[in-house]
Amino acid sequence: VWGNCLDYIKDNIPTQSFKTWFLPIKPLKLKDNVLSIQVPSKFFYEWLEENYIKLLKSAITRELGEDAKLVYSIVMENTYGNANPYTVKIPSSNRAPIKNPKVSMPVDIGDKGVKNPFIIPGLRKVHVESQLNPNYTFDNFVEGDCNRLARSAGYAVSNKPGGTSFNPLLIYGGNGLGKTHLAHSIGIEIKDKYPEKTVLYVSAEKFTQQFIDAIRNNTKNDFVHFYQMIDILIMDDVHSFAGKEKTQDVFFEIFNHLHQHGKQVILTSDRAPVDLQGMEQRLLSRFKWGLSADLQVPDLETRIAILHQKLYNDGVEMPADVIEYLAYSINSNVRELEGALISLLAQSSLNKKKITVELAKQMIDKFVKNTTREISIDYIQKVVCDYFDMPIDLLKSPTRKREIVQARQLAMYFSKQLTKASLASIGAQCGNKDHATVLHACRTVNNLAETDKRFKNYVEDLRKKLTLQ
Ligand code: ADP
Ligand code: MG
């Protein structure tokens, strides 16, 4: 197809122009009537646009018909030496959008389907692909005590981007707790409510790389201008700016411009601003202008709700006791929780095994073997209460009813045996008792198990349940 286009073009312009402007073009692919071509530089693209777009258009529509589209790829070497194209999409038919080219991201799928960001400098009225992952919505972000403030601040920002005192909004928290997800949710929500606004998600690392490339290519101004025209800038993992002074400086410049113009900035970081070492003071003080909200490790109920939601989204069912077991056992972060769920589902379908607590335990022993996992006190309390068919609240209440005291003592005893928790913290979690009470409980259980047959059975049953032996 491209060969035919070239033949047609050749016949319509001077040979020298043809050699200069058309031979260097590389056809990339033709798919769904969209022809992708690669041009050596942005300047080259602009020249084509100014001087030969009509010719190109007629050449292409002759070959592919009126609804054909043309996509330019402009290749720019980055420091790793591989191509880092930015693509300019030009609808080539009926409408007259040539003066108003659409800019789109290269379709190179990175982390969880998020495409790589890119820069297209110097174009009027550009449409920037937001780089948002459509799966990371507010709807999919389960609310819990652990994230309530950050979530509702994010939601408030999405209602009035740039118009709240949460500017910047800084979301911080440990690995796998949902920072990236929440940041995307805000972006998606804003795009939904304000389609005309330019939203851009970019990781701080990518930003740094783009900046380095821009310096190398002498396009720092284009780089800065590109970022300054964004309405909502979502910068993920700003802690990675630590120690990178030049990048911090350029970000400071961009930040100030955006902030002064009432544009919204959303930042995420793996720690609170006060703990961000290697960050310039003036940048840190900007971070504190708005609101910092943290994400905590989700509590048990939230972990269960998250599992339910993932299962629901995938249309998969799982026995409630297995869900609870997973939620009890994996209390580090949501990413691991998700990982465990996925590998459990994979295990069961690969080996055609029923999903049971037993299978989940085997899987977790393999899956989480590198992180020090231990049975949690929560889990012990739950198993003990299930066993005696009583609510957990009672176990934690100050009541002195015999059966309840007994269950409480058993929970303390197993917490001492099966976890590394101190007597004091076991006491604290079993209804605000002190360490002496826990010690007493352990002795009582030992004594009773020797003298009372029925009680001994309880202990053995519970031990089996807890250790799954
Ligand atoms: P972070 O950026 O803090 O390291 P992510 O945003 O990448 O964490 O979250 C890790 C995974 O956990 C993602 O798949 C995300 O969808 C999921 N996740 C985190 N928090 C929640 C939540 N509250 N509800 C649902 N899924 C969550
Ligand atoms: Mg992240």
> What ipTM was assigned to the predicted interfaces of this complex?
0.99
Q: Which of 347, 367, 387 is the last residue of a domain?
A: 367
| 268 CA distance to ligand 2 middle (Å) | 8
pTM assigned to the model: 0.62
Adjacent-strand bridge partners of 39: 74
pLDDT of residue 75: 57
270, 330: one domain? no
Q: Is the pLDDT of residue 116 over 70?
A: no
In ligand 1, the atom with minimum distance to the C-alpha of 175 is 4
Q: Which of 47, 73, 104 is the last residue of a domain?
A: 104
Mutate to test the pocket of ligand 1, among 171, 203, 334, 337 (most ligand atoms within 8 A of CB): 334
| 114 CA distance to ligand 1 middle (Å) | 14
24, 58: one domain? yes
For the residues 227-246, what does the mean pLDDT come to? 95
Range of the domain at 398: 377-467
Residue nearest to atom 5 of ligand 1 (CA): 178
The count of structural domains within the chain is 4
For residue 283, give the nearest of 322, 321, 254, 314 by alpha carbon: 254
| 111 CA distance to ligand 2 middle (Å) | 10
Cα four-point dihedral sign 360, 363, 367, 372: positive
98 domain-assigned: yes
Residue nearest to atom 18 of ligand 1 (CA): 178
Q: Is the pLDDT of residue 96 over 80?
A: no
Element (H, E) at 300: helix 300-314
Q: Which residues make up each annotated binding site?
A: 176, 178-180
133 domain-assigned: no
124 domain-assigned: no
197, 259: one domain? yes
Per-residue confidence band for 401, with pLDDT thresholds at 50, 70 and 90: very high
CA distance linking residue 299 with residue 229, whole number of Å: 40
Adjacent-strand bridge partners of 37: 27, 72
452, 314: one domain? no
Strand, coil or helix: what is 137? coil
Q: Which residues make up each annotated binding site for ATP?
A: 176, 178-180
217 domain-assigned: yes
Q: Which of 72, 104, 136 is the last residue of a domain?
A: 104
For the residues 274-300, what does the mean pLDDT come to? 92
- 180 within ligand 1 shell (Cβ under 6 A): yes
Mean pLDDT check: name the lowest of 44-58, 97-111, 328-342, 435-449: 97-111
Proximal ligand: closest to the CA of 172: 1
Token pair 């309530």 is at which residue?
Answer: 148
pLDDT, mean over the chain: 84
For the residues 155-163, what does the mean pLDDT come to? 96
Per-residue confidence band for 404, with pLDDT thresholds at 50, 70 and 90: very high
For the chain, the helix, strand and coil percentages under 3-state DSSP, each to the nearest 5:
55, 10, 35
